[in-house]
Copies of this chain bind each other. A is one copy, B any other.
Amino acid sequence: MTGPARAPEVIALAFVASDRAEAQEARARLAAIYGEAPEDDADVVVALGGDGFMLEVLHRNLATRRPIYGMNRGSVGFLMNDYGEERLTERIAAAEAALIHPISMRARDAAGVEHRALAINEVSLLRETRQTAKLRIVIDGRTRLEELICDGVLVSTPAGSTAYNLSAHGPIVPINAQVLALTPISAFRPRRWRGALLSHTARVTFEILEADKRPVSAVADNVEVRGVIRVEVVEDRDISLAMLFDAGRSLEERMLAEQFSA
């Protein structure tokens, strides 16, 4: 922590907080102690809230490579460091970065409009009405399932594998495993199909069959496109996100611990 090469006291921090009173109050106190830079000029953004807010902050910094350091002031804090007001610059200087790539969604709707969005956790499709979804699944240009009848389906990153994917009965995937999880939601036919773990280089295309009668919406993290007819998902390796975790509490460690917490 000493020595000329590392001078934590000169890191410019931005503090951002969710709407919760607890998070807002923390923001005010921390800004008073450490000063604050605008988010666009900061070396590190300190996000105060829960996982939902962390995802928001990550999303708006996708283009910047600016590292995000979260502290838990929310209800679910899997991605957050413990909250503390002391020695924050030292903690941040000593933190380990988890570099993750988002997946990109290209969703075409019935009007032919193409919608693009990035997802850190998952891209999911779900039927909109009582009509079950009928989907064709194409991977790297090759049809793998001619027809999946289901409530929906999702493609999850390793980082997202403990989120929606887990609830849909998909496997937890180590953060560095270089795979994507393809997980169905209530597969009707093939009966109880379990999904697949795919290479992270896979390009996954969903073609929505009988889209008029069986409308399906697509969601990239929290961006929803209704009435899609075709959705393409691929990892975007040009974008790297840096989440900072306190030493000994890395994301890899958290995901490992999560698997033993059941």
A126 within 8 A of B: yes
Tell whether, in the assembled complex, residue B187 and residue A167 are in contact, meaning their CB atoms are under 8 Å apart. Answer: yes
How many residues of chain A are within 8 Å of chain B by beta carbon? Answer: 49
Tell whether, in the assembled complex, residue A172 and residue B186 are in contact, meaning their CB atoms are under 8 Å apart. Answer: no
A243 within 8 A of B: no
Q: Which chain B residues border A190 with CB–CB below 8 Å?
A: 262
Chain A interface mostly: mixed
Q: Considering the complex, which residues of chain A in the window 232-260 have a beta carbon less than 8 Å from any beta carbon of chain B?
A: 252, 256-257, 259-260
Q: Which chain B residues border A128 with CB–CB below 8 Å?
A: 128
Q: Which chain B residues border A187 with CB–CB below 8 Å?
A: 167
A101 within 8 A of B: no
A178 within 8 A of B: yes
A191 within 8 A of B: yes
Tell whether, in the assembled complex, residue A127 and residue B130 are in contact, meaning their CB atoms are under 8 Å apart. Answer: no
* Most-contacted residue by chain B among A176, A188, A197, A256 (CB, 10 A): A197
Copies in the complex: 4
A20 within 8 A of B: no
A219 within 8 A of B: yes
Tell whether, in the assembled complex, residue A168 and residue B191 are in contact, meaning their CB atoms are under 8 Å apart. Answer: no
A129-B217, A177-B177, A262-B191 given; A196·B172 CB < 8 A: yes
Interface string of A120-157 (1 = CB under 8 A from B): 00000011111000000101000011000011100000
Q: Which chain B residues border A260 with CB–CB below 8 Å?
A: 137, 144-145, 193, 196
A14 within 8 A of B: no
Q: Which chain B residues border A191 with CB–CB below 8 Å?
A: 166-167, 262
User: Can you pick out 19 interface pairs between chain A and chain B where the beta carbons lie within 8 Å of each other?
Assistant: A130-B222, A139-B256, A167-B187, A167-B192, A171-B197, A173-B197, A174-B179, A174-B197, A174-B198, A174-B199, A178-B178, A179-B179, A185-B186, A190-B262, A191-B262, A193-B260, A193-B262, A194-B262, A197-B259
7 other A-B residue contacts (CB within 8 Å) besides A126-B151, A164-B186, A176-B178: A151-B185, A166-B191, A174-B179, A177-B177, A193-B260, A194-B259, A198-B256
